[in-house]
């Protein structure tokens, strides 16, 4: 199979006018070295979409979408990369030259196509077994008892894995697939005696598909009480990355775009039941841990995400986690007050359930309001210390909300909930989030009565500082290289930032060169940073000041972790903090004087 020569792609990229292409979808205005306009991927009133004409990159600081010239054409025209190259080549008069595909690359492509075929055939086998097999009768009865209709189950391809140890392996071998290929896609595993056996047996099977409808893995529910675990997913493979997947996204995406919102639930049956009830904008988060990749995918399509997660501790923790992963994205997160002991599937399949669930959706509250309710519900009104802790926890939540009616309402609720005057709450807000009390993201949601929930806005400020430092390093690589070399993991708030700093350390002169789109989070973040990087905005000493702020944040964490250390160790850490605070103060004075 032939492909485009690298020279062809480079010539198309060079010839194409990025501003002209984007301007067909939104009006752009020059802003310094870049162009800005309203995002063509989501509704907005203030321009947050930026185009780097020279680098042929785009990024929206509202919904998070971004990429290069070819990504933009693929997204807006609904075509794949080869088609985008051909379209642009014809438009800008570039001669297309093709070359024979690299033998190794062709081999890998054919192997992947073959494995994809194996996954699709397996999904069809499971679906047929569920529909026709006597062994699956009890599973059909169970799902029917849950109120799930045959048509809805069929649209999601729900299946059944037989109980025999090698049913799928035997069928796959007859079709020409090897046990090793089965293991590669997570359908088989090796036993203690070295032989291979089916990974999924006596389980209800839920095929998991990507946004294009391709099967990438499976979720499997136990059919017996003694069967552990209750839910078993495909192991992580090159196809199946749990943190990147939203169950039902292939069926939900058109409805999400039309409704302008996405409903997030936990379970497979929750998704199917809500689709059956007509709420086809519903997707599942594959557990309770929402990821940055998932929220980025959603925010590129919708401006509202409604969380309808279980009311248990894990569900509450997931909802609070949403504050962190949604930082900086122009997306409103609402929370449905789920009744204890009920899930969306149970509610929506009961008589009158769809209407009841719609009423719950209409009554959903914004995430800060939900967060504040958790804090106030944990307070013992008879304990002054508990009320103080409640106030300390409420302050960063309220500060995370823009001044206005909602913030005023949260102030009023806090005052009423704690039995204090609103002026006391306002006074604490003026002092800032660190004026008393403590909150830790490391604490589980079930310990909310012992300390305040996460002070998310404080973490957001730190992450913004990290990103700002890296953007300045890109804009001024001669100075930035030194400070990148000093960055350590303790300075950074998560794995994505660590990967980004590591990539920039070795690729600062041209961060986009060789950047692999197989790591979409890294690709998106680096692209956004390149778009933002402007040497004219990097003041004297700015990189150094940012680094010292990160060093101070890391030191504060070290001090917090050393609360049980010896007095000598704590004294040394506090001395280091005092010295660093003085350095930061002097740096600020120098900036103000310049």
370-393: pLDDT as tens digits: 889 989 998 998 898 999 999 999
What separation in angstroms does the CA of 525 have from each of 65, 499, 529, 579? 10, 10, 6, 33
Query: Distance (Å, rounded) from C-alpha 352 to C-alpha 341?
Result: 18
Residue 8 pLDDT exceeds 60: yes
Instruction: Please provide the DSSP assignment of 245-269 as one string.
Output: --BTHHHHHHHHHHHTEEEEESSHH
Q: b vs e for 463-479, b when ≥16 Cβ sit within 10 Å of the residue's Cβ?
A: bebbbbbbbbbbbbbeb
Query: Distance (Å, rounded) from C-alpha 113 to C-alpha 107?
Result: 10
**Structurally, what CATH architecture does the domain formed by 244-363 represent?**
3-Layer(aba) Sandwich (3.40)
Higher per-residue pLDDT: 314 or 514: 514
**Helix, strand, or coil (residue 586):** helix
Mean pLDDT of 276-290: 88
What separation in angstroms does the CA of 154 have from each of 107, 157, 159, 272, 452? 35, 5, 9, 10, 45
Q: What are phi and psi of 191, to 5 degrees?
A: -85, 175
Contact 47, 37 (CB under 8 A): yes
The DSSP H or E segment spanning 348 is: helix 344-349
Mean pLDDT of 452-476: 67
Mean of pLDDT over the chain: 85
**Strand order through the sheet with 28-31:** 28-31, 34-37, 49-52, 57-60, 66-68
Task: Convert the pLDDT of each residue in 392-436 to its tens digit.
Answer: 999 988 988 888 899 999 999 999 999 999 999 998 898 876 554
Domain boundaries, given as residue ranges, for the chain:
2-100, 105-240, 244-363, 369-454, 458-593
Structure tokens at 332: 């409103």
Query: Distance (Å, rounded) from C-alpha 347 to C-alpha 147?
Result: 10
% pLDDT > 90, the chain: 40
Which CATH class, in words, describes the domain spanning 105-240?
Answer: alpha beta
Mean pLDDT of 543-554: 85
**Residue 445: its pLDDT value, please?**
31
Query: Distance (Å, rounded) from C-alpha 590 to C-alpha 592?
Result: 5
The helix-helix angle for 495-507 and 477-486 (nearest 10°) equals 130
What's the topology of domain 2-100?
A: DNA Primase; Chain A (3.90.580)
State the pLDDT confidence band at 588, using cuts at 50, 70 and 90: low
Count of CA atoms in the C-beta half-sphere (13 A) of 36: 11
Residue 43 pLDDT exceeds 50: yes
Residue 592 pLDDT exceeds 70: no
Residue 454 pLDDT exceeds 50: no
The DSSP H or E segment spanning 108 is: helix 103-132
State the pLDDT confidence band at 439, using cuts at 50, 70 and 90: very low
The DSSP H or E segment spanning 15 is: helix 6-15
């Amino acid at each position: 199979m032939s492909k485009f020569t690298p020279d062809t792609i480079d010539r198309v990229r060079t010839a194409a006018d990025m501003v002209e292409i984007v301007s067909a979808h939104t009006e752009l205005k020059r802003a310094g070295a870049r162009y800005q306009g309203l995002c063509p991927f989501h509704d907005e009133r203030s321009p947050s979409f930026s185009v780097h004409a020279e680098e042929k990159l785009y990024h929206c600081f509202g919904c998070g979408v971004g990429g290069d010239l070819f990504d933009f054409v693929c997204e807006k025209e609904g075509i794949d990369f080869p088609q985008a190259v051909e379209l642009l080549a014809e438009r800008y008069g570039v001669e297309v030259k093709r070359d024979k595909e690299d033998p190794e690359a062709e081999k890998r492509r054919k192997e992947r196509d073959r494995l994809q075929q194996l996954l699709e055939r397996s999904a069809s086998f499971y679906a047929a077994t569920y529909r026709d097999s006597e062994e699956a009768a009890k599973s059909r009865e169970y799902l029917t008892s849950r109120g799930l209709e045959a048509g809805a189950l069929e649209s999601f391809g729900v299946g059944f894995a037989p109980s025999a140890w090698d049913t799928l392996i035997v069928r796959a071998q007859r079709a020409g697939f090897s046990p090793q290929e089965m293991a590669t896609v997570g359908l088989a595993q090796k036993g203690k005696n070295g032989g291979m056996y089916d990974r999924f047996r006596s389980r209800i099977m839920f095929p998991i598909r990507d946004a294009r409808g391709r099967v990438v893995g499976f979720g499997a529910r136990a059919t017996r009480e003694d069967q552990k675990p209750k839910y078993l997913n495909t192991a992580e493979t090159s196809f199946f990355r749990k943190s990147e997947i939203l169950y039902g996204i292939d069926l939900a995406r058109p409805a999400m775009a039309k409704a302008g919102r996405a409903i997030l639930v936990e379970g497979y049956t929750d998704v199917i039941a809500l689709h059956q009830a007509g709420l086809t904008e519903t997707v599942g988060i594959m557990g309770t841990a929402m990821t940055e990749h998932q929220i980025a995918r959603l925010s590129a399509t919708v401006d509202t995400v409604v969380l309808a997660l279980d009311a248990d501790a894990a569900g509450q923790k997931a909802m609070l986690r949403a504050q962190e992963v949604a930082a900086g994205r122009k997306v409103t997160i609402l929370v449905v007050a789920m009744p204890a002991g009920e899930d969306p599937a149970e509610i929506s399949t009961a008589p009158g359930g769809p209407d009841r669930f719609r009423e719950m959706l209409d009554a959903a509250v914004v995430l800060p309001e939900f967060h504040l309710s958790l804090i106030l519900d944990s307070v013992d009104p008879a304990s002054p210390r508990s009320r103080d802790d409640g106030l300390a926890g409420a302050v960063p939540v309220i500060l995370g909300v823009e001044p206005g009616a909602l913030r005023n309402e949260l102030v009023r609720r806090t005052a009423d909930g704690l039995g204090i005057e609103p002026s006391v709450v306002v006074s604490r807000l003026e002092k800032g989030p660190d004026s008393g009390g403590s909150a830790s993201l490391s604490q589980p949601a079930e310990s909310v009565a012992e300390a305040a929930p996460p002070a998310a806005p404080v973490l957001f400020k730190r992450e913004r500082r990290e990103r700002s430092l890296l953007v300045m390093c890109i804009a001024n690589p001669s100075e930035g290289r030194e400070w990148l070399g000093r960055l350590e993991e303790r300075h950074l708030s998560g794995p994505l930032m660590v990967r980004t700093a590591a990539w920039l350390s070795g690729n600062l002169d041209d961060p986009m060169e060789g950047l692999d789109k197989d790591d979409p989070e890294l690709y998106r973040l680096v692209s956004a940073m390149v778009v933002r990087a402007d040497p004219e905005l990097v003041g004297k000493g700015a990189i150094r000041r940012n680094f010292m702020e990160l060093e101070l944040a890391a030191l504060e964490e070290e001090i917090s972790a050393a609360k049980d250390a010896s007095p000598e160790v704590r004294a040394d850490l506090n001395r280091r903090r005092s010295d660093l605070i003085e350095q930061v103060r002097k740096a600020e004075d120098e900036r103000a004087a310049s």
